[in-house]
Structure 1
Amino acid sequence: MQDHGLIIPVIMAGGSGTRLWPVSRNTMPKQFIEILDEGFSTFQTALRRVSGPEFAPPIVVTGEDFRFLAAVQMQAAGVEGEILLEPAPRDSAAAVAAGALYAAQRDPEAICLVMAADHFIQDDQSFVSDCMKAAVAAGSGRIMTLGIEPTHPSTAYGYIDIGEPLPFDAAFVLKGFVEKPDKARANTYLESGFLWNSGNFLFAVDTMIDELEMHAPDVLFAVREAVACAKHDLDFLRLDAEAFQRSPKISIDYAVMEKTQRAGVVKASFSWSDVGSWDSVYDIKTADDNGNVLEGAVSVLNTRNSLVLSQGPLTTVIGLEDVMVVSTLDAVLVASKDEAPRVKDLVSSLVADGRDEATQHLRIHRPWGWYQRVDLGDRFQVKHICVRPGGTLSLQKHHHRAEHWVVVHGTAEVTIDGVVKHYHENEAAYLPIGCVHRMRNPGKIDLKIIEVQVGSYTGEDDIVRIEDIYARV
């Protein structure tokens, strides 16, 4: 058994979280939303959970669309690390392989902790303690997972069958994984001492690479080439697209964990949830005397054991029990608790119907800040735009629209056809069709403007980028 140094966290942050629609959508998935902890997203709480002296700087694996979200939230959380960009979603086996191979470049004898960016863990100290126990076993050549003592016969989680004890604290042989069961089987698993599968894994990088080579060589071969041919882009490491997309789309559970003879499990001492659906959000939050969890502009009468959450208009409920009501500025979800996991099916139906609300928020995040549509009509569009301090929009032009920028907060540095001018609160800039323009926030507070577009076409694809500090040209 080898001694291990600092554990390298590999944080998986590329999912879409459709079961928490309409708050979580493709353009802003649940791991980047402050859905449980006011002030921090679950991604940020995951980063902070592994920022102690036991851990090396993390490796974050995420998608192209989320790269700036991840970078901004890492900075806000005060955590430095590296961000690997997946060119396309290939499920968790490819992401784990990329993290292990990249960590091996740092230290061929490294111990990695693979963890999700969107889970809820109540006791960070216990989590770290359990990771240290699992790391000792991982140093002996085991691939360890953290198994959760079930609190009820859940049909939403996979289960772990444990075997004889290993010669390490709270560690056992992992006999097998079991898929999400029906209610009767879940009761049987509970009585038999099965554990929930938390999806947290600890392993020595050479162990995982060996097991991938044995059980999922197509994954390893493709990802090894993708890492070898990766290129730095600003603060990101972009995995080679052609190689990465040759990897089969398969989870690490199916690719390795269900086949390996080296799997082990530590019985975890912390409470855990994968925050997979609105009923799990209800279970995590504190209910009032009527069993209700109420957040935002909400009012209820004769309503019990329900979650009512509003991120927009006043939302009212009368005479219902065991329901989930979630409202945003452009969509409302009403579901029974029992049907909450089927929100994913609903989103698939909305996508098939061509509904933009299925995947896109009204507020669209960009590397410089965000914009939100206020109104859209024939030959016009109105947006609310926020530019962070130091943020700079691309140097660009439009073929089909003119724009008016009205500053409502902060100071805007505006360039129009090479002429630079500063605009302050209640001042406006006019940008005629075809002019080459750019906006920058030179101040120390957010710049907020109202943009009015007028023209024959106001789509986002009428942006011709000439120069961009975020390498989007």
Structure 2
Amino acid sequence: MSDLNLPQITPVLLCGGSGTRLWPLSRKSYPKQFSRLTGNESLFKASARRLSGQDYAAPVVITNSDFRFIVTEQLTEVAIDPGAIIIEPEGRNTAPAVLAAALHLHAQSPDALMLVAPSDHVVPDAEAFRAAVMAGVPAAQDGQLVTFGIAPTRPETGYGYLELAEAPQDFTATPIALSRFVEKPDAERAADMLAAGNFLWNAGIFLFSVRSILEAFRQYAPDLLSPVEAAVAEAKVDLGFLRLAPAPWAQAEDISIDYAVMERADNLSVVPFAAGWSDLGDWDAVWREGAEDGQGGNGPVTALDCEDTLLRSEDQGLELVGIGLKDIVAVAMPDAVLVADRNRAQEVKIAVETLKERKVAQATMFPKDHRPWGWFESLAIGDRFQVKRIVVHPGAALSLQSHHHRAEHWIVVEGTAKVTIDETERLVTENQSVYIPLGALHRMENPGKLPMVLIEVQTGAYLEEDDIVRYEDVYARK
């Protein structure tokens, strides 16, 4: 570290959100933080990497049960070993999540510094951001609750703002007193604040000591303490995850850290940051990050005479062509396509709600169904049959299971599968197949060191995922 008197900082990564304004790429079953929206890695992996190194302790990750194995898989891919992965029984917003992390850390080190950060933001200059964090450390050690404000580049109506006690001049990363939080403004008010020069975007990133934030909760949000303390005290360790107790957790108010604590506290400081940032809150923000030339595209796309338009295809077999478009977002997935006016990108959330009301599966379910052992996707569905591609990670195994309504044919196309059918166990290699009769007890494993890929053909009267009876499961799924 640059100063041996400065302690390590424990990152607290929040990654339980669903990011519906980035539908169809971001969905409830696989939200934007785990996707590659910009660059070559997911937002979550980039966030974890950005907050790692000699100045940082192992991160605490707060997520939900559905994402726990995705979190561990992506952290493994960037060689980061978490300090704890805390599982929320249900989403209760950021205040209970931050409080749970603080209580967990308090048992180890009451004076530890914790940096609370969403895991779905883009910060191109990671080194500059780490420098800004270190600039806030002395204030946090002195008991301040430090937030990070982004130098605004436009009159944005989609962000909350921070009003500073003084103009930040050249936006040097140094703590400045905060006057107040400002809710998302209308266009006229946003323009006025941009012109005033003493307003920053609220990034929702905070640095404080465990002791200071717990004192702030005791002073400003005491009703949260009892249920969250009980949820942490009664938490159960499950396969290395820390599951908060559901009953007390359900009694915690659903409230953000801004409303619960920050807008009431009088010991706040702001570190300005002007080296680039985006919360990638909608497709317009994605366009701003990667399509400044107005011909933005991702994947197999062709843009002819397009202006300020984002074309994005997430399927190598699906060519997306735009001709003469202006201010348009077009995102193509294997199972859904979005076409929208770029200036109305935030209304995608309304469209998703409409799809949910109609019980459209694409509203929440991702084409690839990620599981702790790998993933699968449906290639074809018809009357009494379904074809899937299944990818199993090295050393991983599906549960020992049976089905009441379907039989299965497995054809290995890459790697080797170790297959159990009732009392028989055998290895099935590339270009070999095996038949699983209806009702047979069976399991598939990958004993190799490379991913194993097979094609599964299901036949039967009922082919949904709830036709699974599990007998043994190394991932302790119910």
TM-score (norm 2): 0.96
Which residue of the other structure, out of 400, 408, 414, is the alignment partner of 1:409?
414
In the alignment, which residue of structure 2 is the partner of 1:241? 246
Listed as ranges, the matches of 1:316-331 within 5 Å are 316-331=321-336
Distance in 2, Cα, partners of 1:444 & 1:169: 46
Structure 1 residue matching 2:379: 3-state secondary structure: strand
Give deviations 1:307-361, integer Å, cap 9, x for gaps: 0001121111122101111110011111111101111111111111111101001
CA contact (8 A) 1:4 1:110 kept: no
In the alignment, which residue of structure 2 is the partner of 1:175? 179
Distance in 2, Cα, partners of 1:213 & 1:263: 16
In the alignment, which residue of structure 2 is the partner of 1:304? 307
Distance in 2, Cα, partners of 1:254 & 1:349: 29
Structure 2 residue matching 1:453: 3-state secondary structure: strand
Q: 1:300 deviation in Å?
A: 2.3
Quick check: 1:456 aligned with 2:461?
Answer: yes
Quick check: 1:80 aligned with 2:75?
Answer: no
In the alignment, which residue of structure 2 is the partner of 1:355? 360
Quick check: 1:189 aligned with 2:193?
Answer: yes
**Structure 2 residue runs without a partner (length 5+):** none
In the alignment, which residue of structure 1 is the partner of 2:142? 140
Quick check: 1:25 aligned with 2:27?
Answer: yes
Give deviations 1:176-226, integer Å, cap 9, x for gaps: 111111111001111222011011100111111111112212222211111
In the alignment, which residue of structure 2 is the partner of 1:67? 68
CA contact (8 A) 1:374 1:383 kept: yes
One-letter amino acid of the counterpart of residue 188, structure 2: A
One-letter amino acid of the counterpart of residue 292, structure 1: Q
Q: 1:286 deviation in Å?
A: 4.3
Distance in 2, Cα, partners of 1:104 & 1:158: 30
Distance in 1, Cα, partners of 2:139 & 2:49: 24
One-letter amino acid of the counterpart of residue 102, structure 2: A
CA contact (8 A) 1:165 1:172 kept: no
Distance in 2, Cα, partners of 1:380 & 1:149: 55
1:269–1:300 Cα change, 3 Å: closer
Give deviations 1:422-468, integer Å, cap 9, x for gaps: 00111111111111100000011111111111111111111000000
CA contact (8 A) 2:132 2:173 kept: no
Distance in 2, Cα, partners of 1:123 & 1:169: 14
Structure 2 residue matching 1:461: 3-state secondary structure: coil
Which residue of the other structure, out of 253, 257, 260, is the alignment partner of 1:255?
260
In the alignment, which residue of structure 2 is the partner of 1:149? 151
CA contact (8 A) 2:88 2:244 kept: yes
Distance in 1, Cα, partners of 2:166 & 2:195: 17
CA contact (8 A) 2:173 2:273 kept: no
Q: 1:164 deviation in Å?
A: 5.3
Distance in 2, Cα, partners of 1:227 & 1:136: 29
In the alignment, which residue of structure 2 is the partner of 1:434? 439
One-letter amino acid of the counterpart of residue 25, structure 1: R
In the alignment, which residue of structure 2 is the partner of 1:107? 109
One-letter amino acid of the counterpart of residue 189, structure 2: R
Q: 1:299 deviation in Å?
A: 1.6
In the alignment, which residue of structure 2 is the partner of 1:93? 95
Distance in 2, Cα, partners of 1:286 & 1:357: 27
Distance in 1, Cα, partners of 2:452 & 2:237: 30
One-letter amino acid of the counterpart of residue 95, structure 1: A
1:150–1:165 Cα change, 3 Å: closer
Deviates more, 1:293-302 or 1:462-471: 293-302
In the alignment, which residue of structure 2 is the partner of 1:120? 122
Listed as ranges, the matches of 1:213-224 within 5 Å are 213-224=218-229
CA contact (8 A) 2:379 2:387 kept: yes
In the alignment, which residue of structure 1 is the partner of 2:319? 314
Give deviations 1:219-274, integer Å, cap 9, x for gaps: 22211111111111112111111111111101111111111111111112421110
In the alignment, which residue of structure 2 is the partner of 1:466? 471
In the alignment, which residue of structure 1 is the partner of 2:44? 43
Q: 1:165 deviation in Å?
A: 9.4
**Structure 1 residue runs without a partner (length 5+):** none
Distance in 2, Cα, partners of 1:344 & 1:101: 34
Which residue of the other structure, out of 6, 9, 16, is the alignment partner of 2:8?
6
In the alignment, which residue of structure 2 is the partner of 1:52? 53
Structure 1 residue matching 2:303: 3-state secondary structure: strand
Distance in 1, Cα, partners of 2:226 & 2:131: 34
Q: 1:101 deviation in Å?
A: 1.0
CA contact (8 A) 1:292 1:303 kept: yes
In the alignment, which residue of structure 2 is the partner of 1:392? 397
| 4+ residue segments displaced more than 2 Å | none
Distance in 2, Cα, partners of 1:287 & 1:183: 22
Quick check: 1:377 aligned with 2:382?
Answer: yes
Q: How many matched pairs?
A: 468
Distance in 1, Cα, partners of 2:6 & 2:451: 45
1:165–1:328 Cα change, 3 Å: closer
In the alignment, which residue of structure 2 is the partner of 1:278? 283
Q: 1:374 deviation in Å?
A: 1.0
Structure 1 residue matching 2:362: 3-state secondary structure: helix
Give deviations 1:59-92, integer Å, cap 9, x for gaps: 0000110000000000001101121101100001
Give deviations 1:381-431, integer Å, cap 9, x for gaps: 111100011110000001111111111111000001121100011111111
Distance in 2, Cα, partners of 1:465 & 1:397: 7
Structure 1 residue matching 2:466: 3-state secondary structure: helix
One-letter amino acid of the counterpart of residue 204, structure 1: S
One-letter amino acid of the counterpart of residue 301, structure 2: V
CA contact (8 A) 2:173 2:272 kept: no
Distance in 2, Cα, partners of 1:249 & 1:160: 23
